[in-house]
Structure 1
């Protein structure tokens, strides 16, 4: 989700109970400003990690006020986002093959938080009837203009997608941004046909990287992330929404050396280090070198709505 060219949004302090068990009893892991903008807590009853209170609105609330007329073509103002999405299409080649075997005749596929649509385009080329759902209107306009695909500038809950009408839903690095993950999963469950599948990917926080880095962990530091799932908490949440697990893997991502340098800067939490790495990256064209790195700090799952 992009938060570029946004209208001013007044921050609101919001206290929330645990999204998994409903308890309102959490211990503080990282105070506001230590790991990220919001304070991060863990439920004492079930262990779910989440931001509370929230002094920064959820991304979907920020992005809905985005005015694409301010900056024009999103590729011009956020080239790093385009390079990242374009390169990472290759990371889902095995998942695309898995879905093609499950659905030889293909069917209707929705990608939630589809960004600028490179992966959505790949699914369309595989023969799926695709629709993107993305609250950033500028990205939706780009998808329709440049990718030739349908993209709805909204979220699933207000999209009007009928119940029991979709074969596959794809949700990649989105669930950690939404204000009510259980409600989102329950909505996905409703729109899927009986036997339909959800592909979900999100960072994990029972990883070696989190144990080693703590407050400096890269994904934890993202101000847009408001839920932080372990293998156990994500499994319990998907099961609570009604899903049955079909596949669970710890995966990596393709990235540029420029992106790796940016991540190191985030981990350092030092503006001086970030400036130094940015200068080196620009001078040496780090953005031209791409590779895949798997630190087992992300989890990709396929779950199914029972028939």
Structure 2
């Protein structure tokens, strides 16, 4: 995205979307499962950047691990909420990812449930590659179009195909729906090496169904742990898919 007018429109669009986001307990719980799934590839210490923070649920977990997290987000409200939740806030940047420039390099960069929103995902990933320190890694997570819950929705006739944009997707500003292969393809087009790919949490139900059942005997901790573990066996059927990326 090079046109200044287009950038202004995108900046305003992102900030307008803030009021359309609704909180899902399933999404909040997913943050912890994401950390667990990607932890084997994370550095124990080092510099950390989060690109896209929402309300800081993941940022808090990253701060616990890295001690300090720098954050980039175009939405002023999300930056304010996230900063208020941190014990030791890093540097916060309110800008589009395409405009983010810094001399600092990072050992870990996190882009979680963001790539499906951006105008140019390959450009965004290429920019992340330039931010990595030697040996640094990027952790990119997106909602999975092949999740079991989406496959069931297709069979029910609720959506035409697994990667179709649902009304909820459009409401939250999604521009595309990824699966593992298309996520990996965009990473390679951006000139990055895929060190690992996987899925997070086998997902047989829609978010609202999980939210309805949380706290009941039906949705026990043991059941949720079983779904998390099954994600390693059936990554194509998980709630989210991820890639661990390195510079070539």
Aligned pair partner of 1:124 in 63, 66, 75: 63
In structure 1, list runs of 5 or more residues that go unmatched: 1-13, 15-56, 68-73, 264-280
Q: Does 1:246 align with 2:195?
A: yes
Q: Does 1:215 align with 2:215?
A: no
Which structure carries more relative contact order (alpha carbon 8 Å, separation 6+)?
2
Match of 1:175 in 2: 115
Instruction: State the distance in 2 between where 1:96 and 1:205 align.
Output: 20
Task: Answer with 1 or 2: which has the greater Rg.
Answer: 1
Match of 1:64 in 2: 15
* Contact 1:258–1:287 (CA under 8 A) maintained in structure 2: no
* Contact 2:145–2:162 (CA under 8 A) maintained in structure 1: no
User: What TM-score do you get using the length of structure 1 for normalisation?
Assistant: 0.58
How many pairs are equivalent? 215
* Contact 2:63–2:86 (CA under 8 A) maintained in structure 1: no
Distance 1:143 1:187, change over 3 A: same
* Contact 1:66–1:137 (CA under 8 A) maintained in structure 2: no
Match of 1:159 in 2: 100
SS at match of 2:117: coil
SS at match of 1:115: coil
* Contact 1:171–1:200 (CA under 8 A) maintained in structure 2: yes
* Contact 1:219–1:225 (CA under 8 A) maintained in structure 2: no
Query: For 1:86-105, what per-residue CA distance to the aligned partner results, in whole angstroms no more than 9, with x for missing partners?
Result: 423321232453244xx23x
Distance 1:178 1:207, change over 3 A: same
Deviation at 1:155, TM superposition (A): 2.5
Distance 1:259 1:192, change over 3 A: same
Match of 1:111 in 2: 50
SS at match of 2:53: coil
Query: For 1:200-227, what per-residue CA distance to the aligned partner results, in whole angstroms no more than 9, with x for missing partners?
Result: 1113345665555143759721102212
Match of 1:195 in 2: 135
In structure 2, list runs of 5 or more residues that go unmatched: 1-5, 232-236
Query: For 1:168-193, what per-residue CA distance to the aligned partner results, in whole angstroms no more than 9, with x for missing partners?
Result: 11111110110100110111011112
Match of 1:268 in 2: none
Distance 1:231 1:95, change over 3 A: closer
Match of 2:33 in 1: 91
SS at match of 1:145: helix
Match of 1:143 in 2: 82
Instruction: State the distance in 1 between where 2:74 and 2:243 align.
Output: 24
